[in-house]
Amino acid sequence: MAAPEIYSPGLEGVIAGETAISTVTGGLRYRGYPVTQLAEKCCFEEVAHLLLHGDLPNSAQLREFRHRLWAYAQLPSQVNTFLHEAPRKAASMDVLRTAVSMLALHDPDTGDNSRAANLRKAERLLAQIPLALATAYRAGKGQPIVRPAADLGFAANLLYMVRGTPPDDFERKAFDVSLILYAEHEFNASTFTARVVCSTESDLHSSVVAAIGALKGPLHGGANEKVMDVLFAAGGPETAEAWLRAAMERKQKVMGFGHRVYKTGDVRARVLKEYARQATARAGMQKWEETAEIIERILAAEKNLFPNLDWPAGRLYHAMGLEIALYTPFFVAARVSGWSAHVIEQLENNRIIRPRARYTGPDERMVPDPA
């Protein structure tokens, strides 16, 4: 007797592979390290090294890693021209996705799927993506392009290239923490997409391009762009409860809440919430933090819904004066480290990912004979 078909919509609860990179079981950990400790004690470059190379770097390894990223921080002239000439109305994620695809045309290792070559490509993309997103952003505003500074780290340089002025210590740390929290998250939609693509023995750039396409959606990375829309619609602490109850009555989804895996809250959201609170206080925007608290309280008590990482990230970035069009590209700049680690891992013990579908069409039918 054939085994019964098991169907899980959205693959919920399905174990679709094995990974040593991260786990959400018992709290999010990257290669065994709790993400809370990484956010507190490490910088983003250390975490990117951990994901790509398997362990936290010592001082010499970190210095060498940063030196390689600095050497890779340049764009081919054709990519730079595209970023300056891209349609101003184009979505920032579309521009970034296309830029990454173009980078494959110029990477000397594009066709080499060895571990060593994929590590080189991953490090290049880690260095090039911040340049690409900052160039596209500033070119779109007619502003001069800002080159990275040798004395700034990854997070500080990304802010510097976007804004044109170096961040202060709080901004650097807060933004760095956000990138650490966004860097990796097991078999999420975009990471699984990257693994599916490379399981065909396609290349790392193709996997990352596909992952960016998956991340763009508002049910995944694009959710952080919708957070301030929710708060603006709520209007402020005086009107937040009435707005939320009306939204609940309409069965409207509140972006930034709920998670397929976390049922009692996202530890990443709790970490970043404190930085969002401090940032809004510094910017004189406590109104939005108070509004967020009311929404959080009601959804937790009445719907058992808790914030995910996008909820405080959107508030943090807004309080730092960063435009919404940058939010999901920032996610890409961080997550490319995790995506690349998964591509490398998938290829080391590869089997093409090819699930089955439950057929719901008509029963077998015969094509009629010609009249």
In a 3-state reduction of DSSP, which class is residue 29?
A: strand
- Give how far Cα 62 sits from Cα of 53, 295, 334, Å: 11, 41, 17
Q: Quote the CA–CA distance of 362 and 294 in Å, as a whole number.
A: 50
List the catalytic residues.
Answer: 259, 310
Q: Which amino acid is at 171?
A: E
Q: How deeply is 136 buried, as exposed, middle or buried, from its count of CB atoms within 10 A (0-12, 13-18, 19+)?
A: buried
**Token digits for 47?**
């975490």
- Beta strands 29-30 and 22-23 are antiparallel
Residues contacting 202, CB < 8 A, separation 6+: none
Six-digit token string for 125: 């993309």
Q: Count Cβ atoms below 10 Å from residue 186 Cβ, excluding itself.
A: 19
What token pair was written down for 106? 């110029």
Neighbours of 111 (CB within 10 A): 9
Distance, C-alpha 199 to centroid of its chain: 21
What b/e string do you get for 139-172 counting C-beta neighbours within 10 Å, with b at 16 or more? bbeeeebbebeeebbbbbbbbbbbbeeebeeebb
Q: Give the C-alpha separation, 165 to 64, whole Å.
A: 26
Q: Quote the radius of gyration of the chain (alpha carbons, Å).
A: 22
C-alpha–C-alpha distance, residues 208 and 182, integer Å: 15
What span, in angstroms and rounded, lies between the C-alpha atoms of 332 and 334?
5
